[in-house]
Amino acid sequence: MSNDTLAGRTALVTGGGVGIGRGIAIALARAGVRTAVTYRTHEPDAELLDALAAAGHEPFARPLDATDEAAVQAFATELRDEFGALDILVNNAGGMVRRAPLPELDADLWRQVMAVNLDSAYYVTRAVQPFLSDGRGRIVNVASLAGHNGGGPGATAYATSKAAVFGLTKGLARELAPQGITVNALAPGFIDDTPFHETFTADEARKQIVAGIPVGRPGIPADCAGAVLWLASDAAGFVTGTIIDINGGVYVR
């Protein structure tokens, strides 16, 4: 597949300032896609901004709390004014918030995790859907291996929210198919160079996890970016409602 098929298209990557989102945004921009990114705590670095500019436009990077519906609607209006139609949406914003076993998992933390991982994807998708291109629109939701296997210790809320993203993906795939819009999800396993594992995975645990990956290495953001490039292309026009597992063979369905 040639990335030339993506040149001239437009994209939005939420949570695009760091980690998986950053890798996806850079890959799209280098494929000639005019790419907007949002971020909450990690501002885009120089490499990302240079990649966004290389597509021939001023970088479009905005702070956004994707759990705030009003803020998302205001951002979508700005994006539509700037981009016109949107071809590709990558809902990547999310996080664990913190690990908590059930006795410590109070309702406030539960709701916060759902808001960060599920509500954010719902709010953004609903806000941009009116100007998502019919016939070639692409939505990619970034979920997690935890949505399949329940995650590690204290990750029940996180795993539940990511499994819900699978449901959102499948429901929207059916709903938007008549408009020629595909909706798919990624379920990454252990991906290095992300704030998630820098925050929640101790060094010894990281070594044990990597030792158990059949392909013999941890994933990197580019592994996720490659899947997005394919899903965003014409080559994947008949693929919708699918969960793509990116875990090096740790979980095989």
pLDDT over 90, % of the chain: 89
| Span 9-33, pLDDT tens digits | 999 999 999 999 999 999 999 999 9
The pLDDT of residue 54 is 87
Q: What's the pLDDT band for 204 if we cut at 50, 70, 90?
A: confident
Over residues 182-192, mean pLDDT: 97
Q: Where are the domains of the chain?
A: 10-246
Which CATH number is correct for 10-246, 3.40.50.170, 3.40.50.720, 3.60.20.10, 2.60.40.420? Answer: 3.40.50.720
Q: In this predicted model, what pLDDT tens digit does every residue of 215-238 receive, in sequence order? A: 999 999 999 999 999 999 999 999
Got the DSSP string for the chain? --GGGGTT-EEEETTTTSHHHHHHHHHHHHTT-EEEEEESSS---HHHHHHHHHTTS--EEEE--TT-HHHHHHHHHHHHHHHSSB-EEEE----------GGG--HHHHHHHHIIIIIHHHHHHHHHGGGBPTTT-EEEEE--THHHH--STT-HHHHHHHHHHHHHHHHHHHHHGGGT-EEEEEEE-SBSSSHHHHHH--HHHHHHHHHT-TTSS-B-HHHHHHHHHHHHSGGGTT--S-EEEESTTSS--
- Catalytic annotation, residues: 158
